[in-house]
Structure 1
């Protein structure tokens, strides 16, 4: 059974914003956003301990506690362990990028991909999510963008710890699937080259979008199909810059990125296409992609995502996108454009 067969649909909900990413989100607004996702048919929710030091999981668990557990799929991540010890909120960081969750919980987070930490992380997530089981578990951010030149040592720790532990939990029926949740393609390539138990799929954030897809297209998508390990696309709006924001790669977008966004939006406007629809449907056109999980922290954004999935985009738009070299020549497009 493929990863796509384990998911309840192609549109999921990424909960990083519920961890107070970039801003202090009122509790009622966060819970209402999850309710809006549910009301629009979303049944796949992705979380992580890192998101606000457990805040996103707590909020998601509260919102879903009134739902039947068999009616939804939830994924979370291991590799970042939340401690009882508190830290100065001004020191809150996300790997090397800093500051994303400064408004989250104050609990200290440590990087630990060992077998013991994996089990303790899962136990903590179960409590925060108010559930008795997890469907999918991703190994979180074991890549160079967070650990620099030391990333391979962290990867090795994950290989001998988290990978083997999650593979065993799947064999025992405790979880349905496991894989990596990363922002870079290199850990996926390395994982698929291993002889040890293979993951069921990957959550790849920010690397298969209208703005940035060349590396994934060349190095990950064909391998994923070959190994039967499909991709869940996270960050389909490229940290928000495709959806009206100013951030790309979790920081202020460069002039070059903003110029490309302007070209994409101008082309979409000429064809009467919403940029969100173009972004989501572009990602889903690749046969290696099982689902997309845009994030949101306001209920109205969920309605926009649902409408974007259903929007009819003329083939002429995709042909123009190709003609203006705004997508790679070999990127699969809807309608075979």
Structure 2
């Protein structure tokens, strides 16, 4: 059974990173209303992680879903980061992701991809969400500092720890699937080649978007399709810049990125196309993609995402993007028959 089958056909999911107070302090009522809006718009796949606000997103998601039957929705969360009881007195700093969750809970978060930490992380997530089971578990962010020694040690720890534990839990039926949840393509490429612990798919954030997709097209997408390892696309709006925001890769966008987005927006304007619709439909057009999971912290954003999914986009818009070199020549596009 593929990742898509495990998601019960839900091609539009909900990424809960914003519920962890990503970039801003979100009131409890607003967070709850956003999850409620997702449910009312038919979303049944929810992705979360201990990292999001040091457990805050998991807590809020669990509270919001408590009124629904557990069999009626799918949850994925992540392992690799442990939330401690220890409180951080200074700013929450997370390497390449900076202070993205500075408004979250102040619990210290550490990296640990060992077998024991994986089991502990799953148990902690179950308690925070108040649920009896998880459907999909992603190994989170082992790709940070990819070219340094720290990355190599982290990957080896995950290979001999988290990967093996999750394979066993899947084979025992405790979880339905596992894979990596990362924002770089390199660890996905390495993990697809493993023989002793085979993932079911990957959550690839920010690397198969309308703005940034060339590297993933080279090997990840075709190999994943060949092996039956489907991709869940996270961050389809590239940290928000494709949805009216100013960030790319969790930081203020560079002049080069801003200029590229302006060209995409100009083409969208000429064809009467919503850039949100273009972003979501572009990611879903690839046959290796099982679902796309934009994040949201306001109820009205959910309605926009749902409308974007079904919006009509003329073929001439996609042709113009290709002609301008704004999408890769080999990128599958909506309606082009690939």
Which band: TM-score by shorter chain?
over 0.9
Inter-CA distance 81–147: structure 2 relative to 1 (3 Å threshold): farther
Partner Cα separation in structure 2 for residue 138 and residue 27 of structure 1: 26
TM value normalised by structure 1: 0.98
Partner Cα separation in structure 2 for residue 306 and residue 249 of structure 1: 24
Which residue pairs with 2:314 in the alignment? 314
SS at structure 2 position matched to 1:144: coil
RMSD of aligned Cα (Å): 1.1
Which residue pairs with 2:212 in the alignment? 212
Partner Cα separation in structure 1 for residue 187 and residue 24 of structure 2: 30
Runs of 4+ residues over 3 Å off in structure 1: 144-149
Give the length in aligned residue pairs. 336
Q: Deviations over 1:200-221 (max 9, x none)?
A: 0000000001110011011210
Which residue pairs with 1:16 in the alignment? 17
Partner Cα separation in structure 2 for residue 80 and residue 317 of structure 1: 42
Which residue pairs with 2:55 in the alignment? 54
Q: Where in structure 2 are there 5+ consecutive unaligned residues?
A: none
The 8 Å contact of residues 96 and 144 in structure 2, kept in 1 or not, is answered as: no
Greater alpha carbon shift after TM alignment, 146-155 vs 309-318: 146-155
| Distance apart, 1:193 and its partner CA | 1.1
Which residue pairs with 1:28 in the alignment? 29
| Distance apart, 1:195 and its partner CA | 1.4
Greater alpha carbon shift after TM alignment, 138-147 vs 195-204: 138-147
Partner Cα separation in structure 2 for residue 150 and residue 222 of structure 1: 29
Partner Cα separation in structure 2 for residue 99 and residue 148 of structure 1: 22
Which residue pairs with 2:136 in the alignment? 136
Partner Cα separation in structure 1 for residue 101 and residue 182 of structure 2: 18
Inter-CA distance 146–100: structure 2 relative to 1 (3 Å threshold): farther
| Distance apart, 1:317 and its partner CA | 1.1
TM value normalised by structure 2: 0.98
Q: Where in structure 1 are there 5+ consecutive unaligned residues?
A: none
| Distance apart, 1:96 and its partner CA | 3.2
Q: Deviations over 1:30-88 (max 9, x none)?
A: 01000000000000000000000000000000000001100000000000001111112
| Distance apart, 1:318 and its partner CA | 1.1
